[in-house]
Protein backbone atom coordinates (compact mmCIF):
# COMPACT_ATOMS: atom_id res chain seq x y z
CA UNK A 1 0.00 0.00 0.00
CA UNK A 2 1.24 3.55 -0.68
CA UNK A 3 -0.43 6.56 0.89
CA UNK A 4 2.08 9.36 0.48
CA UNK A 5 0.77 12.82 -0.31
CA UNK A 6 0.96 13.52 -4.04
CA UNK A 7 3.03 16.49 -5.32
CA UNK A 8 -0.07 17.76 -7.18
CA UNK A 9 -2.09 17.88 -3.93
CA UNK A 10 0.75 19.53 -2.06
CA UNK A 11 0.99 22.12 -4.83
CA UNK A 12 -2.72 22.98 -4.40
CA UNK A 13 -2.15 23.44 -0.67
CA UNK A 14 1.01 25.51 -1.10
CA UNK A 15 -0.68 27.78 -3.63
CA UNK A 16 -3.60 28.30 -1.24
CA UNK A 17 -1.23 29.03 1.65
CA UNK A 18 0.69 31.58 -0.44
CA UNK A 19 -2.58 33.32 -1.34
CA UNK A 20 -4.00 33.29 2.19
CA UNK A 21 -3.61 36.81 3.65
CA UNK A 22 -1.45 36.94 6.76
CA UNK A 23 -0.41 33.28 6.76
CA UNK A 24 3.11 33.62 5.33
CA UNK A 25 5.50 36.54 5.13
CA UNK A 26 8.80 37.17 3.36
CA UNK A 27 10.77 35.87 6.33
CA UNK A 28 9.10 32.46 6.08
CA UNK A 29 11.90 31.13 3.93
CA UNK A 30 11.08 27.56 4.91
CA UNK A 31 7.75 26.39 6.30
CA UNK A 32 6.65 23.01 7.66
CA UNK A 33 3.14 21.83 6.79
CA UNK A 34 1.07 19.05 8.36
CA UNK A 35 -1.97 17.48 6.73
CA UNK A 36 -4.17 17.07 9.80
CA UNK A 37 -6.68 14.92 7.89
CA UNK A 38 -3.94 12.41 7.13
CA UNK A 39 -2.91 12.21 10.79
CA UNK A 40 -6.56 11.68 11.73
CA UNK A 41 -6.92 8.91 9.17
CA UNK A 42 -3.81 7.12 10.45
CA UNK A 43 -5.32 7.25 13.94
CA UNK A 44 -8.55 5.72 12.61
CA UNK A 45 -6.53 2.97 10.92
CA UNK A 46 -4.84 2.16 14.21
CA UNK A 47 -8.17 2.07 16.01
CA UNK A 48 -9.73 -0.18 13.37
CA UNK A 49 -6.80 -2.61 13.26
CA UNK A 50 -6.60 -3.34 16.99
CA UNK A 51 -9.24 -4.25 19.61
CA UNK A 52 -11.31 -1.31 20.85
CA UNK A 53 -9.72 -1.20 24.31
CA UNK A 54 -6.16 -0.85 22.89
CA UNK A 55 -4.25 2.20 24.06
CA UNK A 56 -2.51 3.85 21.11
CA UNK A 57 0.20 5.81 22.93
CA UNK A 58 1.64 7.84 20.06
CA UNK A 59 5.42 8.38 20.43
CA UNK A 60 5.98 12.06 21.28
CA UNK A 61 9.58 11.92 20.03
CA UNK A 62 8.36 11.56 16.44
CA UNK A 63 6.52 14.89 16.56
CA UNK A 64 6.32 16.83 19.84
CA UNK A 65 4.32 19.87 18.65
CA UNK A 66 2.00 20.79 21.53
CA UNK A 67 -0.96 21.50 19.25
CA UNK A 68 -0.57 18.07 17.60
CA UNK A 69 -0.37 16.37 21.00
CA UNK A 70 -3.61 18.14 21.93
CA UNK A 71 -5.26 16.99 18.68
CA UNK A 72 -4.15 13.42 19.41
CA UNK A 73 -5.62 13.67 22.91
CA UNK A 74 -8.92 14.87 21.40
CA UNK A 75 -8.85 11.93 18.97
CA UNK A 76 -8.66 9.57 21.96
CA UNK A 77 -5.08 8.33 21.63
CA UNK A 78 -2.54 8.16 24.41
CA UNK A 79 1.06 9.42 24.41
CA UNK A 80 4.39 7.68 24.85
CA UNK A 81 7.04 9.76 26.61
CA UNK A 82 10.74 8.94 26.33
CA UNK A 83 12.04 11.60 28.72
CA UNK A 84 10.83 13.54 31.73
CA UNK A 85 10.20 16.69 29.68
CA UNK A 86 8.13 14.63 27.23
CA UNK A 87 6.21 13.24 30.21
CA UNK A 88 5.68 16.78 31.48
CA UNK A 89 4.43 17.81 28.03
CA UNK A 90 2.06 14.83 27.87
CA UNK A 91 0.55 15.77 31.23
CA UNK A 92 0.37 19.43 30.18
CA UNK A 93 -1.91 18.54 27.24
CA UNK A 94 -4.45 17.40 29.82
CA UNK A 95 -4.04 13.80 28.72
CA UNK A 96 -5.33 11.53 31.52
CA UNK A 97 -2.50 9.64 33.28
CA UNK A 98 -3.96 6.25 32.34
CA UNK A 99 -3.32 7.11 28.68
CA UNK A 100 0.36 8.03 29.16
CA UNK A 101 3.27 5.58 28.96
CA UNK A 102 6.71 6.55 30.25
CA UNK A 103 9.57 4.64 28.60
CA UNK A 104 12.77 6.57 29.21
CA UNK A 105 15.79 4.30 28.64
CA UNK A 106 17.62 5.92 31.59
CA UNK A 107 15.53 6.90 34.60
CA UNK A 108 16.71 8.42 37.86
CA UNK A 109 14.99 7.78 41.19
CA UNK A 110 13.42 11.24 40.87
CA UNK A 111 12.13 10.44 37.38
CA UNK A 112 10.49 7.29 38.74
CA UNK A 113 8.93 9.11 41.68
CA UNK A 114 7.59 11.80 39.35
CA UNK A 115 6.11 9.26 36.92
CA UNK A 116 4.67 6.97 39.57
CA UNK A 117 3.26 9.95 41.43
CA UNK A 118 1.51 11.06 38.27
CA UNK A 119 0.00 7.58 37.89
CA UNK A 120 1.22 6.93 34.36
CA UNK A 121 2.26 3.52 33.03
CA UNK A 122 5.99 3.06 33.58
CA UNK A 123 8.16 0.63 31.65
CA UNK A 124 11.43 -0.13 33.44
CA UNK A 125 14.48 -0.55 31.24
CA UNK A 126 17.19 -2.15 33.41
CA UNK A 127 17.71 -4.26 36.55
CA UNK A 128 18.94 -1.11 38.27
CA UNK A 129 15.54 0.50 37.64
CA UNK A 130 13.80 -2.61 39.01
CA UNK A 131 15.87 -2.38 42.20
CA UNK A 132 15.26 1.36 42.40
CA UNK A 133 11.54 0.74 42.29
CA UNK A 134 11.84 -2.02 44.89
CA UNK A 135 13.45 0.50 47.22
CA UNK A 136 10.91 3.21 46.38
CA UNK A 137 7.90 0.95 46.56
CA UNK A 138 8.77 -0.80 49.82
CA UNK A 139 5.53 -2.43 50.78
CA UNK A 140 3.53 0.26 49.02
CA UNK A 141 2.54 -0.83 45.48
CA UNK A 142 3.12 1.87 42.83
CA UNK A 143 0.07 3.91 41.79
CA UNK A 144 0.25 3.12 38.08
CA UNK A 145 0.94 -0.06 36.13
CA UNK A 146 4.61 -1.07 35.81
CA UNK A 147 6.18 -3.16 33.07
CA UNK A 148 9.66 -4.27 32.09
CA UNK A 149 11.12 -3.63 28.65
CA UNK A 150 12.11 -6.95 27.13
CA UNK A 151 14.57 -7.06 24.25
CA UNK A 152 13.41 -10.04 22.18
CA UNK A 153 16.84 -10.15 20.48
CA UNK A 154 15.42 -10.73 17.00
CA UNK A 155 18.33 -9.00 15.23
CA UNK A 156 18.76 -5.87 13.13
CA UNK A 157 16.70 -4.50 10.27
CA UNK A 158 18.34 -2.81 7.29
CA UNK A 159 19.35 0.33 9.27
CA UNK A 160 21.72 -0.63 12.08
CA UNK A 161 21.68 2.73 13.89
CA UNK A 162 17.96 2.60 14.52
CA UNK A 163 17.60 -1.16 15.09
CA UNK A 164 16.86 -1.65 18.76
CA UNK A 165 16.31 -5.40 19.19
CA UNK A 166 19.76 -6.77 18.32
CA UNK A 167 21.49 -9.26 20.64
CA UNK A 168 23.55 -6.47 22.18
CA UNK A 169 21.05 -3.62 22.02
CA UNK A 170 21.25 -1.02 24.79
CA UNK A 171 17.49 -1.22 25.34
CA UNK A 172 15.67 -3.31 27.94
CA UNK A 173 16.68 -6.68 29.35
CA UNK A 174 17.74 -9.37 26.87
CA UNK A 175 15.24 -12.21 26.57
CA UNK A 176 17.29 -15.20 25.46
CA UNK A 177 20.28 -14.34 27.63
CA UNK A 178 18.37 -13.56 30.84
CA UNK A 179 15.06 -15.42 30.56
CA UNK A 180 15.25 -17.08 34.00
CA UNK A 181 16.16 -13.85 35.73
CA UNK A 182 13.20 -12.14 34.06
CA UNK A 183 10.76 -14.83 35.23
CA UNK A 184 12.24 -14.66 38.76
CA UNK A 185 11.68 -10.89 38.84
CA UNK A 186 7.97 -11.28 38.03
CA UNK A 187 7.76 -13.91 40.81
CA UNK A 188 9.44 -11.58 43.26
CA UNK A 189 7.66 -8.33 42.44
CA UNK A 190 3.86 -8.46 42.24
CA UNK A 191 3.90 -4.82 41.07
CA UNK A 192 5.44 -5.90 37.77
CA UNK A 193 2.16 -6.22 35.94
CA UNK A 194 3.02 -5.81 32.26
CA UNK A 195 5.59 -6.26 29.53
CA UNK A 196 6.98 -3.85 26.98
CA UNK A 197 8.98 -4.33 23.82
CA UNK A 198 9.79 -2.14 20.86
CA UNK A 199 11.40 -3.23 17.62
CA UNK A 200 12.22 -0.71 15.04
CA UNK A 201 12.27 1.40 13.35
CA UNK A 202 12.38 2.05 9.61
CA UNK A 203 13.91 -0.91 7.78
CA UNK A 204 12.38 -3.69 9.88
CA UNK A 205 10.09 -6.27 8.25
CA UNK A 206 6.63 -7.12 9.56
CA UNK A 207 7.75 -10.70 10.10
CA UNK A 208 10.67 -9.61 12.22
CA UNK A 209 8.51 -7.30 14.31
CA UNK A 210 5.80 -9.90 14.77
CA UNK A 211 8.31 -12.59 15.72
CA UNK A 212 9.57 -10.32 18.50
CA UNK A 213 6.04 -9.85 19.84
CA UNK A 214 5.48 -13.63 19.66
CA UNK A 215 8.70 -14.31 21.59
CA UNK A 216 7.60 -11.96 24.38
CA UNK A 217 4.09 -13.44 24.34
CA UNK A 218 5.69 -16.85 24.95
CA UNK A 219 7.58 -15.36 27.87
CA UNK A 220 4.35 -13.97 29.31
CA UNK A 221 2.81 -17.45 29.26
CA UNK A 222 5.83 -18.76 31.14
CA UNK A 223 5.64 -15.90 33.67
CA UNK A 224 1.96 -16.55 34.23
CA UNK A 225 2.42 -20.23 34.87
CA UNK A 226 5.43 -19.56 37.14
CA UNK A 227 3.66 -16.87 39.19
CA UNK A 228 0.06 -18.08 39.04
CA UNK A 229 -1.12 -14.53 38.19
CA UNK A 230 -2.17 -12.91 34.97
CA UNK A 231 -0.33 -9.87 33.64
CA UNK A 232 -2.49 -6.86 32.92
CA UNK A 233 -0.89 -5.09 29.95
CA UNK A 234 1.13 -5.97 26.87
CA UNK A 235 2.90 -3.06 25.17
CA UNK A 236 4.07 -3.95 21.64
CA UNK A 237 5.83 -0.60 21.05
CA UNK A 238 5.87 1.09 17.63
CA UNK A 239 8.19 0.67 14.70
CA UNK A 240 6.03 0.27 11.61
CA UNK A 241 7.99 1.42 8.50
CA UNK A 242 6.51 4.00 6.11
CA UNK A 243 7.02 4.93 2.45
CA UNK A 244 9.65 7.58 1.69
CA UNK A 245 10.29 6.76 -1.97
CA UNK A 246 7.67 7.52 -4.59
CA UNK A 247 5.59 4.40 -5.28
CA UNK A 248 7.24 2.49 -2.45
CA UNK A 249 4.80 -0.01 -1.00
CA UNK A 250 4.81 -0.66 2.71
CA UNK A 251 2.64 -2.79 4.98
CA UNK A 252 -0.44 -1.25 6.55
CA UNK A 253 -1.10 -1.43 10.25
CA UNK A 254 -4.05 -3.75 9.50
CA UNK A 255 -1.63 -6.26 7.91
CA UNK A 256 0.60 -6.03 10.97
CA UNK A 257 -2.32 -6.56 13.34
CA UNK A 258 -3.55 -9.54 11.28
CA UNK A 259 -0.13 -11.15 11.39
CA UNK A 260 0.01 -10.66 15.16
CA UNK A 261 -3.46 -12.17 15.48
CA UNK A 262 -2.30 -15.27 13.59
CA UNK A 263 0.89 -15.66 15.63
CA UNK A 264 -0.54 -14.82 19.06
CA UNK A 265 -4.34 -15.03 19.06
CA UNK A 266 -4.25 -14.82 22.87
CA UNK A 267 -3.17 -11.19 22.61
CA UNK A 268 -6.48 -10.26 20.98
CA UNK A 269 -8.86 -12.02 23.36
CA UNK A 270 -9.25 -9.10 25.74
CA UNK A 271 -7.20 -10.62 28.56
CA UNK A 272 -4.57 -7.87 28.33
CA UNK A 273 -4.74 -4.17 27.84
CA UNK A 274 -2.87 -3.87 24.56
CA UNK A 275 -0.66 -0.79 24.11
CA UNK A 276 0.95 0.41 20.89
CA UNK A 277 3.50 3.23 20.52
CA UNK A 278 3.55 4.16 16.84
CA UNK A 279 5.21 7.45 15.89
CA UNK A 280 6.51 7.38 12.34
CA UNK A 281 3.35 5.68 11.05
CA UNK A 282 1.15 8.46 12.39
CA UNK A 283 3.22 11.47 11.35
CA UNK A 284 5.85 10.84 8.65
CA UNK A 285 3.70 10.99 5.51
CA UNK A 286 1.58 13.89 6.80
CA UNK A 287 4.42 16.43 6.98
CA UNK A 288 6.30 18.28 4.26
CA UNK A 289 8.55 21.31 4.06
CA UNK A 290 8.47 24.06 1.46
CA UNK A 291 11.65 26.09 1.18
CA UNK A 292 12.22 29.04 -1.07
CA UNK A 293 15.16 28.65 -3.45
CA UNK A 294 17.59 31.46 -2.76
CA UNK A 295 20.23 30.74 -5.39
CA UNK A 296 21.05 28.25 -8.12
CA UNK A 297 24.78 27.84 -8.73
CA UNK A 298 26.01 26.40 -12.00
CA UNK A 299 29.15 24.45 -11.14
CA UNK A 300 31.51 22.39 -13.25
CA UNK A 301 29.49 19.19 -13.20
CA UNK A 302 26.21 19.99 -11.57
CA UNK A 303 23.81 22.71 -10.53
CA UNK A 304 23.22 23.36 -6.83
CA UNK A 305 19.94 24.72 -5.50
CA UNK A 306 20.57 26.58 -2.25
CA UNK A 307 17.62 26.42 0.14
CA UNK A 308 16.71 27.33 3.72
CA UNK A 309 16.54 23.95 5.40
CA UNK A 310 19.14 21.22 5.56
CA UNK A 311 20.98 19.25 8.20
CA UNK A 312 19.29 21.35 10.91
CA UNK A 313 16.01 19.52 10.30
CA UNK A 314 17.11 16.49 8.27
CA UNK A 315 19.91 15.09 10.38
CA UNK A 316 19.55 11.49 9.34
CA UNK A 317 19.23 12.30 5.66
CA UNK A 318 22.28 14.58 5.63
CA UNK A 319 24.53 12.42 7.78
CA UNK A 320 23.45 8.99 6.46
CA UNK A 321 22.32 9.72 2.91
CA UNK A 322 22.77 6.03 2.05
CA UNK A 323 20.08 4.99 4.54
CA UNK A 324 17.47 7.74 4.43
CA UNK A 325 15.54 9.31 1.58
CA UNK A 326 13.08 12.12 0.91
CA UNK A 327 11.53 12.87 -2.46
CA UNK A 328 11.88 16.50 -3.61
CA UNK A 329 9.53 18.42 -5.93
CA UNK A 330 9.82 21.85 -7.53
CA UNK A 331 7.02 24.43 -7.38
CA UNK A 332 6.77 27.88 -8.98
CA UNK A 333 6.78 31.03 -6.80
CA UNK A 334 2.95 30.85 -6.81
CA UNK A 335 2.97 27.19 -5.71
CA UNK A 336 2.12 25.54 -9.02
CA UNK A 337 3.94 22.29 -9.71
CA UNK A 338 6.82 22.26 -12.19
CA UNK A 339 6.77 19.05 -14.15
CA UNK A 340 8.81 19.82 -17.30
CA UNK A 341 10.36 17.05 -19.38
CA UNK A 342 13.68 18.92 -19.60
CA UNK A 343 14.95 17.64 -16.29
CA UNK A 344 18.56 17.87 -15.21
CA UNK A 345 20.72 16.82 -12.31
CA UNK A 346 20.75 18.96 -9.16
CA UNK A 347 22.38 18.93 -5.81
CA UNK A 348 20.15 20.40 -3.09
CA UNK A 349 22.08 22.18 -0.36
CA UNK A 350 20.96 23.59 2.97
CA UNK A 351 21.99 26.86 4.64
CA UNK A 352 24.46 25.57 7.24
CA UNK A 353 28.16 26.34 7.40
CA UNK A 354 29.50 22.90 6.59
CA UNK A 355 30.00 21.07 3.33
CA UNK A 356 27.95 18.02 4.30
CA UNK A 357 24.74 20.05 4.52
CA UNK A 358 23.38 18.36 1.41
CA UNK A 359 19.80 17.08 1.11
CA UNK A 360 20.44 15.19 -2.08
CA UNK A 361 22.88 14.72 -4.94
CA UNK A 362 22.18 13.89 -8.56
CA UNK A 363 18.47 14.57 -8.17
CA UNK A 364 16.67 14.83 -11.46
CA UNK A 365 14.48 17.96 -11.34
CA UNK A 366 12.75 20.32 -13.79
CA UNK A 367 14.61 23.66 -14.14
CA UNK A 368 14.94 25.26 -10.70
CA UNK A 369 15.04 29.06 -10.45
CA UNK A 370 15.50 31.57 -7.65
CA UNK A 371 12.20 32.15 -5.77
CA UNK A 372 10.81 28.72 -6.71
CA UNK A 373 9.93 26.42 -3.82
CA UNK A 374 11.48 23.04 -3.24
CA UNK A 375 9.17 20.70 -1.36
CA UNK A 376 10.71 17.96 0.75
CA UNK A 377 8.22 15.15 1.13
CA UNK A 378 7.35 12.79 4.00
CA UNK A 379 9.02 15.02 6.57
CA UNK A 380 6.52 14.66 9.40
CA UNK A 381 8.42 12.37 11.80
CA UNK A 382 11.87 12.62 13.41
CA UNK A 383 12.66 15.82 11.54
CA UNK A 384 11.54 18.91 13.45
CA UNK A 385 11.85 16.79 16.62
CA UNK A 386 15.55 16.24 15.88
CA UNK A 387 16.23 19.90 15.09
CA UNK A 388 19.91 20.79 15.48
CA UNK A 389 20.91 24.14 16.94
CA UNK A 390 24.10 24.37 14.88
CA UNK A 391 24.41 27.87 13.35
CA UNK A 392 21.49 28.98 15.54
CA UNK A 393 18.90 28.93 12.79
CA UNK A 394 15.30 29.86 13.60
CA UNK A 395 12.84 26.98 13.80
CA UNK A 396 10.44 27.47 10.91
CA UNK A 397 6.75 28.26 11.16
CA UNK A 398 4.57 25.13 11.28
CA UNK A 399 1.16 25.17 9.62
CA UNK A 400 -1.56 22.55 9.92
CA UNK A 401 -4.23 22.20 7.23
CA UNK A 402 -7.34 20.27 6.33
CA UNK A 403 -9.04 19.55 3.00
CA UNK A 404 -5.95 20.36 0.94
CA UNK A 405 -5.73 23.83 2.42
CA UNK A 406 -9.35 24.99 2.61
CA UNK A 407 -8.54 25.42 6.30
CA UNK A 408 -5.21 26.46 7.78
CA UNK A 409 -4.03 26.96 11.33
CA UNK A 410 -0.64 27.99 12.64
CA UNK A 411 0.57 25.14 14.85
CA UNK A 412 3.75 26.94 15.84
CA UNK A 413 5.05 30.41 15.02
CA UNK A 414 8.45 30.91 13.43
CA UNK A 415 11.05 31.23 16.17
CA UNK A 416 12.06 34.81 16.85
CA UNK A 417 15.66 36.01 16.94
CA UNK A 418 15.18 36.67 20.67
CA UNK A 419 14.05 33.08 21.28
CA UNK A 420 17.09 31.71 19.46
CA UNK A 421 19.39 33.99 21.43
CA UNK A 422 17.65 32.99 24.68
CA UNK A 423 18.43 29.33 24.00
CA UNK A 424 22.12 30.10 24.50
CA UNK A 425 21.68 32.14 27.66
N1 LIG B 1 8.46 3.29 21.44
C2 LIG B 1 9.76 3.32 21.76
C3 LIG B 1 10.18 2.80 23.05
C4 LIG B 1 10.69 3.87 20.86
O5 LIG B 1 11.97 3.89 21.17
C6 LIG B 1 10.24 4.42 19.62
C7 LIG B 1 11.17 5.01 18.67
C8 LIG B 1 8.86 4.36 19.33
C9 LIG B 1 8.01 3.79 20.27
C10 LIG B 1 8.28 4.90 18.05
O11 LIG B 1 8.76 4.20 16.96
P12 LIG B 1 8.21 4.49 15.49
O13 LIG B 1 6.82 3.93 15.41
O14 LIG B 1 8.21 5.94 15.29
O15 LIG B 1 9.16 3.79 14.59
N16 LIG B 1 14.48 8.38 12.88
C17 LIG B 1 14.76 8.26 14.28
C18 LIG B 1 14.19 6.98 14.77
C19 LIG B 1 14.36 6.74 16.21
C20 LIG B 1 13.26 5.90 16.75
C21 LIG B 1 13.43 5.79 18.21
N22 LIG B 1 12.42 5.09 18.89
C23 LIG B 1 16.23 8.35 14.39
O24 LIG B 1 16.81 8.35 13.36
O25 LIG B 1 16.80 8.43 15.49
Report pLDDT digits (tens) over 258-289.
999 999 999 999 999 999 999 999 999 999 99
Q: What percent of the chain has pLDDT over 70?
A: 99
Q: Indicate left, alpha or beta for 187 from its phi (over 0: left) and psi (-120 to 50: alpha).
A: alpha
The whole-model pTM stands at 0.96
Query: Is the pLDDT confidence value at 155 over 90?
Result: no
- Is the Cβ–Cβ distance between 9 and 404 less than 8 Å? yes
Q: Give the closest residue (by CA) to ligand 1 atom 8.
A: 238
Handedness of CA 17, 20, 23, 24 (dihedral sign): positive
Cα 239 to ligand 1 centroid, rounded to whole Å: 6
Q: Which of 86, 157, 216, 239 to mutate to test the pocket of ligand 1 (most atoms within 8 A of CB)?
A: 239
CA distances from 36 to 54, 287, 406 (A): 22, 9, 12
What DSSP element (H or E) covers 19?
Answer: helix 7-19
Q: Return the closest-CA partner of residue 148 out of 203, 187, 92, 186.
A: 186
**Beta strands 358-365 and 344-349: pairing type?**
antiparallel
pLDDT value at position 382?
97
pLDDT in tens, 239-264: 999 999 998 989 999 999 999 999 99
pLDDT value at position 2?
64
Q: Which of 238, 282, 385, 386 to mutate to test the pocket of ligand 1 (most atoms within 8 A of CB)?
A: 238
Q: Give the pLDDT mean for 57-62.
A: 98
Q: Return the closest-CA partner of residue 324 out of 291, 296, 358, 283.
A: 358
Q: Give the closest residue (by CA) to ligand 1 atom 5.
A: 198
Q: How far apart are CA 238 and CA 54, in angstroms?
A: 13
Map residue 165 onto helix, strand or coil: coil
Q: Give the closest residue (by CA) to ligand 1 atom 3.
A: 198
Domains of the chain and CATH, by start: 7-34+284-423 (2.40.37.10), 104-276 (3.20.20.10)
Query: Is the pLDDT confidence value at 307 over 60?
Result: yes
Amino acid sequence: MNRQLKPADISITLARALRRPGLLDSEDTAVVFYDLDLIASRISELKNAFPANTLHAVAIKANPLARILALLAEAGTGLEAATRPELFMALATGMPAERIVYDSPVKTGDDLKYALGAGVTVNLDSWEEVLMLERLAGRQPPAGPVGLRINPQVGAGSIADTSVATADSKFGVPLSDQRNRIVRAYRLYPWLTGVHLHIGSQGCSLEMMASGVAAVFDLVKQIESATGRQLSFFDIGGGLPVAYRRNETVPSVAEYANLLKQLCPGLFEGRYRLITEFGRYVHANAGWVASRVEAVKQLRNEKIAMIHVGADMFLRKCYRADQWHHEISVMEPDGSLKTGRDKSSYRVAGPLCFAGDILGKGISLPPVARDDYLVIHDAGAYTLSMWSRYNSRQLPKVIGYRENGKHFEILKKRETLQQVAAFWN
